Amino acid sequence: MKEKNPWKTPVTIIITVIGVIVIVALVTVAVLQNKPLLQKYKYGIVLDAGSSHTALYIYKWPAEKDNNTGRAEQTHVCKVKGGGISSYAADPSKAGESLRACIGDAERMENSTASDRVFQAVKETLESSPFSYQGARILSGQEEGAFGWVTVNYLDDRLKQGLETTGALDLGGASTQISFVSDNFDGSESLMNSVTFRLYGNDYNLYTHSFLCYGKDQAQRLALAHQTQSGLEKILDPCFNPGYNRIQNYSVLYDSPCVSNRKPQTAPTSFQLTGTGNYRECQKIVRSIFNFTTCKYSRCSFNGVFQPPVQGGFGAFSAYYFVMDFLNLTDTSMPLETVKEKLTSYCSTPWDQIKQQHQRVKEKYLAEYCFSGTYILTLLTEGYNFTSESYSKIKFIKKIKGSDAGWTLGYMLNLTNMIPAEAPDTPLLPHAGYVSIVTIMAILLFILFILSLRPVWPHCSKLPQVV
Ligand SMILES: Nc1nc2c(ncn2[C@@H]2O[C@H](COP(=O)(O)OP(=O)(O)OP(=O)(O)O)[C@@H](O)[C@H]2O)c(=O)[nH]1
Ligand SMILES: [Ca+2]
């Protein structure tokens, strides 16, 4: 006689069907209810009105993950045509006008309505008057340095991971900043150079200093002022290529707070500047704009400013990058001696030849590279005391992961509280992981359930036998 197969009873079939329905329902709920929300973005716009230029930066970050896993990134940059904001002092309304091209340019971006609304708001505010915009303020040099440091380390993901940080070197037109974390600095020796941050649960004590008048353009004025103290009509300048010639107006040269008090009493209207192209001689002039002798602290960089020894890696941007990139000197594994040799060779190249070789480069920039290269090397090695070893830890950078290196991103992150003081909670289970776990658990539960319905095990040995 054949025993009835217990797996084919109506009850078992019903239970199996219900079980399958339950699994499907569970998995469906898991998939639908925990579907990631449609990614929404937030936008931030920062206008950087520097001494030599104005630029508009747009940043974007996932709205749901402001200070957790999402990273803000630069989506757009627009350089405003014309000079820096101070060049509009005589006609302020033109400053507002100069921004319009950038805003119009940004509006044309194929982007969501969210950005359109942001732009509308910016446009309305900025259009009314250049000074009615509530969000505009002058950044202190210290903030400029500190936010540059935040940008560099944020983009490198060093803050979130609590890694050793990178210092920041910014060379502008009017001022220059140095910021780094030092084991030998707790702020006690010079409080005004100290900035503290608590980011992602880590405390940072940053050394930072901003040297006003030591940006590339003002440093050049200081150097020229040094050479024109006796009010001469002709100047032989080793910081310009041989054969370079230009007529320079005395009033224009001294029309800056960095040099205005040094204008010679008796001077002609203008002087003739002729390049002689000599790196060593140029360096002597550049050295003369620094004061290395006075220091009331345990150690100083220059002009009596306290500075601990430089420590760790550094990111050098803005004019550091423009100049070193043009001179093919961004590779810092090159020994300092070789860097100097290359600069010596560049400085001594006749002006005609330089112009011939770089026909597309703006003549103003081209003429300045010998001075700028010499200034950068002197500032780094004699000003900040980088040695050949620490120099090799500098990286000349323009962008990090698509975003420009500079203070603007750090400033926006701070303004929008996007970097939390404490470490964020460990990320929740990702969606795919959640679905997989629910599915596996449902199947296992079902198997367990079916097994519990099976005839008891000893039965198995007594399977129906054919007699
Ligand atoms: N060679 C070269 N120089 C540039 C270029 N763009 C800007 N500069 C110069 O580099 C210097 C620094 O530029 P920025 O960082 O824009 O300076 P800034 O923000 O206006 O100046 P600060 O107000 O002092 O911060 C200035 O002297 C600029 O004239 C470029 O593409 N090539
Ligand atoms: Ca700047």
Report the number of distinct structural domains present in the chain: 2
pLDDT at position 122 is 52
Whether complex ipTM tops 0.90 = yes
Task: Judge if 248 and 344 occupy the same domain.
Answer: yes
- pLDDT, position 110: 41
In angstroms, what is the span from residue 46 Cα to ligand 2's centroid? Answer: 13
Q: Do 386 and 274 fall into the same domain? A: yes
Residues 283 and 350 in one domain: yes
Beta partners for residue 197, in sequence order: 204
CA distance 397 to 314: 10
3-class DSSP state of 87 = helix
Which H/E stretch holds residue 377? helix 363-378
- Please name which of 380, 318, 387 lies closest in space to residue 152, comparing C-alpha atoms: 318
Residue 129: per-residue pLDDT: 36
Q: Is residue 277 domain-resident?
A: yes
So what's the pLDDT on residue 131?
32
- Residue at a domain's end among 399, 417, 433: 399
285 Cα–ligand 2 center, Å = 25
Q: Note down the domain range covering 25.
A: 6-33+445-462
Beta-bridge mates of residue 245:
274
H helices of 171-318, where? 216-227, 250-253, 279-287
Residue nearest to atom 9 of ligand 1 (CA): 319
Closest ligand 1 atom to Cα of 176: 24
Rg of the chain's alpha carbons, rounded to an integer? Answer: 33
Q: How far does residue 25's CA lie from ligand 1's centre (Å)?
A: 62
Tell me how far the alpha carbon of residue 172 lies from the centroid of ligand 2, in angstroms: 5
End residue of a domain, out of 384, 399, 414: 399
Q: CA distances (Å), 349 to each of 53, 342, 391, in order?
A: 29, 11, 26
Cα–Cα distance between 277 and 281 in angstroms, integer?
Answer: 9
In a domain, 427, yes or no: no
Q: Is residue 179 part of a domain?
A: no
Atom of ligand 1 lying closest to residue 216 CA: 27
Candidate from 212, 322, 397 with most ligand 1 atoms within 8 A of CB, to mutate? 322
Q: Given strand 73-80, what is the order of strands in its sheet?
A: 41-49, 54-62, 73-80
Q: Do 261 and 394 lie in a common domain?
A: yes
- For residue 50, is it within any domain? no
Check whether residue 220 and residue 315 sit in a common domain: yes
Q: Minimum-distance ligand to the CA of 325?
A: 1
Domain limit, last residue, from 377, 399, 421: 399
379 and 455 inside one domain: no
* 395 C-beta neighbours (distance < 10 Å), count: 20
- Per-residue model confidence (pLDDT) at position 63: 78
What count of other Cβ atoms lies within 10 Å of the Cβ of residue 247?
A: 9
Q: Which atom of ligand 1 is nearest to the CA of 326?
A: 1
234 and 369 assigned to the same domain: yes
Within a domain: 376: yes
Instruction: State which ligand 1 atom lies nearest to the alpha carbon of 51.
Output: 23
Instruction: Give the model's pLDDT for residue 45.
Output: 81
Cα 379 to averaged position of ligand 1 atoms, centre (Å): 17
Structure tokens at 15: 């239970």
Q: Which of 47, 48, 52 to mutate to test the pocket of ligand 1 (most atoms within 8 A of CB)?
A: 52
Q: What's 185-202 look like in SS3?
A: CCCCCCHHHEEEEEECCE
The CA distance from 18 to 9, in Å, is 14
Answer for the pair 47, 134: CB distance below 8 angstroms, yes or no.
Answer: no
Is residue 271 a part of any domain in this protein?
A: yes
Q: Are 352 and 243 in contact (CB under 8 A)?
A: yes
Q: Does residue 113 contact residue 119 with C-beta atoms inside 8 Å?
A: no
Pairing of strands 270-275, 73-80: unpaired
Ligand nearest to the CA of 216: 1
Tokens of 89: 């002092």
User: Do residues 106 and 74 make contact, with C-beta atoms less than 8 angstroms apart?
Assistant: no
- Cα angle for residues 198, 161, 199 (degrees, 5° grid): 10
Q: Which residue of 142, 175, 318, 325 sits with most ligand 1 atoms within 8 Å of its CB, as the best mutation to test the pocket?
A: 318
Distance CA 135, CA 139 (A): 12
338: CATH: 3.30.420.150
Residue 70 lies in a domain: no
Show pLDDT as tens, one digit a residue, over the chain (467 residues).
455 666 667 877 887 788 788 778 877 877 776 666 667 888 888 888 888 988 989 888 887 755 555 689 999 898 988 877 667 666 665 666 677 777 766 656 544 454 455 445 555 556 553 433 445 567 899 999 999 999 999 999 999 889 999 999 999 999 999 999 999 999 999 999 999 999 999 999 999 999 999 999 999 999 999 999 999 999 999 999 999 999 999 999 999 999 999 999 999 999 999 999 999 999 999 999 999 999 999 999 999 999 999 999 999 999 999 999 999 999 999 999 999 999 999 999 999 999 999 999 999 999 999 999 999 999 999 999 999 999 999 999 999 999 999 999 999 898 888 888 888 766 566 667 777 887 788 788 878 877 776 665 555 444 455 44
Residues 449 and 336 in one domain: no
Q: Which atom of ligand 1 is nearest to the CA of 144?
A: 25
- Are 361 and 249 in the same domain? yes
- 398 alpha carbon, closest ligand: 1
* Per-residue confidence (pLDDT) for residue 93, from 0 to 100: 58
Q: Are residues 222 and 316 in the same domain?
A: yes
Closest CA to 73 of 425, 320, 316, 412: 412
Are residues 386 and 280 in contact, defined by beta-carbon separation less than 8 angstroms?
no
Cα–chain-centroid distance for residue 299?
A: 29
Kindly list the catalytic residues: 144
Atom of ligand 1 lying closest to residue 55 CA: 16
Ion ligand 2 — residues with CB < 5 Å = 50, 172
Pocket residue to mutate for ligand 1, from 365, 398, 408, most atoms within 8 A of Cβ: 365
Q: Give the residues surrounding ligand 1 with Cβ less than 6 Å away.
A: 50-53, 84, 172-175, 215-217, 318-319, 322, 326, 365
Q: Are residues 364 and 454 in the same domain?
A: no
Domain assignment of residue 173, yes or no? no
Ramachandran category for residue 316: left, alpha or beta (phi over 0 → left; psi -120 to 50 → alpha): beta
CA of 81 to the centre of ligand 1 (A): 13
Query: Which residue lies with its CA nearest to atom 12 of ligand 1?
Result: 172
- 411 Cα–ligand 1 center, Å: 19
CA of residue 439 to ligand 2 center, whole Å: 55
Give yes or no: residues 260 and 362 share one domain.
Answer: yes
